[in-house]
Structure 1
């Protein structure tokens, strides 16, 4: 095969350099299948696409591996239904990990917000207590704390 006249994308650890997601045309070019084929696989549930606000479909890089697997299994004579079962089994763990990562990011944001509220509440509570304590009592408490440390 003559590689000199073909365009090649550099893939590093599953990522194409300079891109995060692939448009359907880019995915079709990389995998050498038509956009219509990708649409068909997406409608069958073999591929997953995200829609942008401008209604473009974007595919992650695991779609490249999925399409290659689908095409390989088709060449081996497997039906699309059989291939679908294999794809679901093979990529189920990957989907679970992605969902967990998204949930973890959401939880991290929630925890950060709660901690910020607690810090603010603690500071407010400390300020209120400080106002209620007489200067003499405050001096005594500070001395005791130094003594106990």
Structure 2
């Protein structure tokens, strides 16, 4: 039986995850307690796992077969998650800088002295660096 959460994503109960991965419930419980797997608790205290847990569990088992300890595997997983977060934060920052540049260019297109003063006062150092880099690349 697959449980559908309130946000519309399908979840697996521990037994279903065990069946799909040929890993015991006890092992899944152990990995969850170590922080290698993440479970969502229902109001009746059942644990539900995302479908991505299948891939993660298979990866953990493969790493173990390759001789990695659970501590090494956990460190790898944490580093990978941190890298993904860093990339997401960088993308958000780039979007913010792109917005700043668009606003600045719109102000400069108006070719108004008052707008030039506004731009000078409100431009961030990061946006200024981005504009200078773009100008260097364009020349």
* TM norm structure 1: 0.47
Structure 2-normalised TM-score? 0.50
Rg comparison, structure with higher value: 1
